Chain A
Amino acid sequence: DAEITQSPRHKITETGRQVTLACHQTWNHNNMFWYRQDLGHGLRLIHYSYGVQDTNKGEVSDGYSVSRSNTEDLPLTLESAASSQTSVYFCASSSGLTYGYTFGSGTRLTVV
């Protein structure tokens, strides 16, 4: 069965370190998205991609970057982790504008 997988499930890192969260989907979806979920804010879009070599900034992109070298993967990098980036991160994918999202199980990141 097709799926969308995030790794790691949990991560603790120190302030200032670079961290990369992985997202891998086997749906063959063109569109992929990264959200963060925080109490009181709901889910907020960080970055998204409509296909290979395409990346776009979302609402809360500062301090984050993504790259899309193939259809299956959209890794999210925190360039220099900050305590404000402690959150739960979700990756999602979709076939296109008229289709819904499929979500991964999330990565809980703690920056100490």
Chain B
Amino acid sequence: KQEVTQIPAALSVPEGENLVLNCSFTDSAIYNLQWFRQDPGKGLTSLLLIQSSQREQTSGRLNASLDKSSGRSTLYIAASQPGDSATYLCAANTGNQFYFGTGTSLTVIP
């Protein structure tokens, strides 16, 4: 069974800092990996989807990388803002379902 781990569980940074969120998975046979953002009491908003053949994807201040061989993905957030405060979840797609990590709770301090 695929196990997805996100470290750290919580992170607090001052506004303007660049930061990296980590995601690791145990089974490298994935179709793709997706990063989500979840605000308190809300649903999941898709941020980036990386296919297994890709190394990275970018959207605005967000950049996600994927290293299948090592079972790792990172989400890089540039010039963080208070509005980036949320929980960030990664999910690895094995073919019949996505397996989710428990998330990193990010707080950006003004």
Query: A residues within 8 A CB of B98?
Result: 101
Contact call B44/A90, Cβ cutoff below 8 A: yes
The verdict on A8 contacting chain B, using a C-beta distance below 8 Å, is no
Bound CA span A56–B95, Å:
14
Instruction: Determine the main DSSP class of B at the interface with A.
Output: strand
A97's partner among B36, B44, B46, B93 (CB-CB below 8 A) is: B93
Query: A residues within 8 A CB of B103?
Result: 42
Bound CA span A100–B98, Å:
9
Contact call B46/A100, Cβ cutoff below 8 A: yes
Chain B residues bordering chain A, tally (CB within 8 A): 22
Bound CA span A102–B49, Å:
11
Bound CA span A41–B44, Å:
16
Contact call B34/A100, Cβ cutoff below 8 A: yes
Query: A residues within 8 A CB of B46?
Result: 100-103
Report the nearest A residue to B49, measured CB to CB. A100
Contact call A104/B32, Cβ cutoff below 8 A: no
Bound CA span A56–B51, Å:
25
Report the nearest A residue to B34, measured CB to CB. A100
Contact call A97/B95, Cβ cutoff below 8 A: yes
Measuring CB to CB, which residues of chain A are less than 8 angstroms from any residue of chain B? 33, 35, 40-45, 48, 56, 58, 90, 92, 97-106
Residue contacts A-B, CB under 8 angstroms, 10 given: A42-B103, A43-B91, A90-B43, A97-B95, A99-B49, A100-B34, A101-B44, A101-B98, A103-B36, A105-B43
